A and B are shown apart, each in its own frame.
Chain A
């Protein structure tokens, strides 16, 4: 009885009594969700175009942020540092496609997946070797990002909005809109969608797979850099981020592996869900720390009932 009360009644009473707490939690969940979405977006881009499940996307986020901070630490102007980082990501994309993906064409997907796990380790250890393992502060102010916060009074309490979070949400929206235009309106974007639809048909009308893959990996690199800047502005540039980045996997399951809107909505659901669950149910009944697994368990349940995700293409495949 006590437990039922804790599950079904108390959380809602708390929500009603403290609307500011609820709003604050929802906002934090929304912000976390945007970042999960951005990381998941990188996965989806690569998966759609090449069928490669890029495990290294999470570490690419850290790597991009590290390069940016590292280059800036050499005394380079912040905006120039962003350009240089983009160059490094382009170089990484070219190397990965030429050295890893091209020799593995036609191998089973799982082999490619394991190759990206190997890549993850190279990037983690290589990044630590070059830039050092200690957390670094992001160059938020130098990049012209806002740092203050504003309050909003609701029902007797206040809700705090960090400006950087608002900026992150806005930039994420711009990025996604930009990607949508790129995919739908440009020549390269159309070629990308053709490759995503059918590799062989795309090859037969003269689209170079290698070039498209490089473009896609570079686009994923740009998304990774954006996610890295936003994330690191909230905390620090550190390798702990890669654990959080693993949460992009349940986001993908929820949204569908091939759907860009799915990645975004899945990210928001996971972000909101885990914060609300932790506050109202996890910390009271289960003793806290539920954020570590909430997303994965949701994905597990989802897989049992709707394996293709919310927006994914329904694969008719016997298992």
Chain B
């Protein structure tokens, strides 16, 4: 950054291993949080909150979940969509059973159910890895998707087969249902995402997180050094699915307001996987950068590309073609990032910061 850490001396180990060891970084984090919690709800338009910020935060949380599994533990998963679905349906049943309980508590609690599902489908990971795991997580995806349709109890025998979110309050404010204001819903999502990301970052720098990374880097060596693969892998599956489940519950209750099973199909799994790849495997910042690019870029293209195209060329273009162009560009970006910068946008950001830090000298 344009600031330097010169003159900041650490006198304790705690200070040295702090999350943000540099004073200016701390200031910036508080600044970002202030913008997120105060400025955006005050000045953001309803469209900006509903269509951009809330989905972005929800998907970023799902990406954090997948990144724990794929980026930090090295187990690739294509079942993210289904685990999000488990969270959403669990939350729906919980709030119907206990209408008076604070909905935010239930959203977080529903993650436990998807964590259980994640552990169950993660069991094969003890015997297999790599592509084989892709197949088992796809099994989770297709089986759970089928189960969501086939058991009407899950959506309360609603003839349309969809979940319709009831109106619920948290701390005396309506946060779900049609009557909830955008600001309230945005603040709920933001608080959950910030707290859970903070938790994730602490887990990752702790003993459990380091055992995950050891499994990822070399499983045999990790085992020799006393990491039990059973616990490490299954805990990664549990935590990852927990995050995905909470993201799924938020997606239905706060973002969409009603949900059919299609929003949890395998395209969702791929969308989240792309966020993780593009943002950076093994980086929490990357989850947010990836979610921003994968989610917001197509929206921008959808609105901006047709007019630009029509002024530059004699041909016309409708917005669905613009979506396809955006999809092609995202595909190209995935391949290009894997070739040129496998650590994704997060790494690019780090390089940029380092360049600024030593500027005007090359190193």
Complex Cα spacing A122 to B328, Å? 5
User: Contact: B334 with A118, CB < 8 Å?
Assistant: yes
User: Contact: A292 with B145, CB < 8 Å?
Assistant: yes
User: Contact: A293 with B335, CB < 8 Å?
Assistant: no
Complex Cα spacing A124 to B126, Å? 34
Complex Cα spacing A109 to B130, Å? 8
| Of A78-86, A195-203, A246-254, A259-267, the one with at least 4 CB within 8 A of chain B | A246-254
User: Contact: B332 with A250, CB < 8 Å?
Assistant: no
Asked if A292 meets B142 with Cβ closer than 8 Å, knowing A107-B342, A109-B130, A319-B219, the reply is yes
User: Contact: B325 with A129, CB < 8 Å?
Assistant: yes
Chain A residues positioned under 8 Å from B229 (CB to CB): 319
Chain A residues positioned under 8 Å from B138 (CB to CB): 246, 249, 296
Chain B residues positioned under 8 Å from A99 (CB to CB): 335
* A270 within 8 Å of B (CB atoms): no
Name the residue among A124, A249, A257, A319 with the largest chain B CB count within 10 angstroms: A319
Complex Cα spacing A307 to B125, Å? 11
Asked if A250 meets B135 with Cβ closer than 8 Å, knowing A104-B338, A319-B219, the reply is yes
User: Contact: A114 with B277, CB < 8 Å?
Assistant: yes
Complex Cα spacing A72 to B126, Å? 50
User: Contact: B124 with A300, CB < 8 Å?
Assistant: yes
Complex Cα spacing A304 to B136, Å? 10
User: Contact: B219 with A303, CB < 8 Å?
Assistant: no
Asked if A296 meets B273 with Cβ closer than 8 Å, knowing A118-B334, A319-B229, the reply is no
User: Contact: B142 with A319, CB < 8 Å?
Assistant: no
User: Contact: B146 with A289, CB < 8 Å?
Assistant: yes
The answer, among B274, B328, B335, for a CB contact under 8 Å with A115, is B335
User: Contact: B131 with A53, CB < 8 Å?
Assistant: yes
Complex Cα spacing A119 to B339, Å? 13
A119-137 CB mask vs B (1 if < 8 Å, else 0) is 1111111101100000000
Complex Cα spacing A160 to B185, Å? 58
User: Contact: B128 with A319, CB < 8 Å?
Assistant: yes
Asked if A121 meets B135 with Cβ closer than 8 Å, knowing A114-B277, A129-B321, the reply is no
User: Contact: A318 with B339, CB < 8 Å?
Assistant: no
B107-142 CB mask vs A (1 if < 8 Å, else 0) is 000000000000000011011111110111011001
The answer, among B124, B321, B332, for a CB contact under 8 Å with A118, is B332
The answer, among A117, A129, A293, for a CB contact under 8 Å with B324, is A129
Min CB–CB distance A164 → chain B (angstroms): 28
Chain A residues positioned under 8 Å from B324 (CB to CB): 125-126, 128-129
* A113 within 8 Å of B (CB atoms): yes
Chain A residues positioned under 8 Å from B123 (CB to CB): 304
User: Contact: A296 with B142, CB < 8 Å?
Assistant: yes
Number of interface residues of B (CB under 8 A): 45
Complex Cα spacing A286 to B143, Å? 12
* B165 within 8 Å of A (CB atoms): no
Complex Cα spacing A268 to B325, Å? 38
Min CB–CB distance B94 → chain A (angstroms): 25
Asked if A293 meets B130 with Cβ closer than 8 Å, knowing A114-B338, A122-B328, A129-B321, the reply is no
Complex Cα spacing A126 to B150, Å? 35
Asked if A121 meets B126 with Cβ closer than 8 Å, knowing A129-B321, A307-B132, the reply is no
- B residues 18-76 in Cβ contact with A at 8 Å: 74, 76
User: Contact: A299 with B139, CB < 8 Å?
Assistant: yes
A270-297 CB mask vs B (1 if < 8 Å, else 0) is 0000000000000000110110110011
Complex Cα spacing A308 to B339, Å? 30
User: Contact: B335 with A119, CB < 8 Å?
Assistant: yes
B307-331 CB mask vs A (1 if < 8 Å, else 0) is 0000000000000010011011011
Chain A residues positioned under 8 Å from B204 (CB to CB): none
Name the residue among A109, A125, A128, A292 with the largest chain B CB count within 10 angstroms: A125
A84-116 CB mask vs B (1 if < 8 Å, else 0) is 000000000000000110011001011101110
Chain B residues positioned under 8 Å from A293 (CB to CB): 139, 142-143, 145-146
* B300 within 8 Å of A (CB atoms): no
User: Contact: B142 with A125, CB < 8 Å?
Assistant: no
Asked if A100 meets B219 with Cβ closer than 8 Å, knowing A125-B324, A293-B143, A296-B143, the reply is no
Chain A residues positioned under 8 Å from B74 (CB to CB): 110
Min CB–CB distance B324 → chain A (angstroms): 4
User: Contact: A113 with B331, CB < 8 Å?
Assistant: no
User: For residue A249, which residue of chain B has the nearest CB?
Assistant: B135
User: Contact: B220 with A118, CB < 8 Å?
Assistant: no
Min CB–CB distance B357 → chain A (angstroms): 29
- A residues 123-157 in Cβ contact with B at 8 Å: 123-126, 128-129
Chain A residues positioned under 8 Å from B331 (CB to CB): 118-123, 125
* B149 within 8 Å of A (CB atoms): yes
User: For residue A122, which residue of chain B has the nearest CB?
Assistant: B331
- A residues 31-71 in Cβ contact with B at 8 Å: 53
User: For residue A296, which residue of chain B has the nearest CB?
Assistant: B139
User: Contact: B330 with A121, CB < 8 Å?
Assistant: yes
Chain B residues positioned under 8 Å from A124 (CB to CB): 327
Q: List 18 A-B contacts (CB under 8 A).
A: A109-B130, A111-B338, A113-B131, A114-B277, A117-B273, A122-B331, A124-B327, A128-B324, A257-B131, A293-B143, A296-B136, A296-B139, A299-B135, A299-B139, A303-B135, A303-B136, A319-B128, A319-B129
Q: Which residues of A are at the interface with B, using a C-beta cutoff of 8 A?
A: 53, 99-100, 103-104, 107, 109-111, 113-115, 117-126, 128-129, 243, 246, 249-250, 252-253, 257, 286-287, 289-290, 292-293, 296-297, 299-300, 303-304, 307, 318-319
With A107-B338, A114-B338, A246-B138 already in contact, 4 other A-B pairs whose C-beta atoms are closer than 8 Å? A113-B131, A118-B332, A300-B136, A303-B124
Q: Which 10 A-B pairs have the closest CB atoms?
A: A118-B334, A125-B327, A296-B139, A121-B331, A122-B331, A293-B142, A118-B335, A293-B143, A129-B324, A125-B328
Q: Which residues of B are at the interface with A, using a C-beta cutoff of 8 A?
A: 74, 76, 123-124, 126-132, 134-136, 138-139, 142-143, 145-146, 149-150, 219-220, 223, 229, 266, 270, 273-274, 277, 321, 324-325, 327-328, 330-335, 338-339, 342
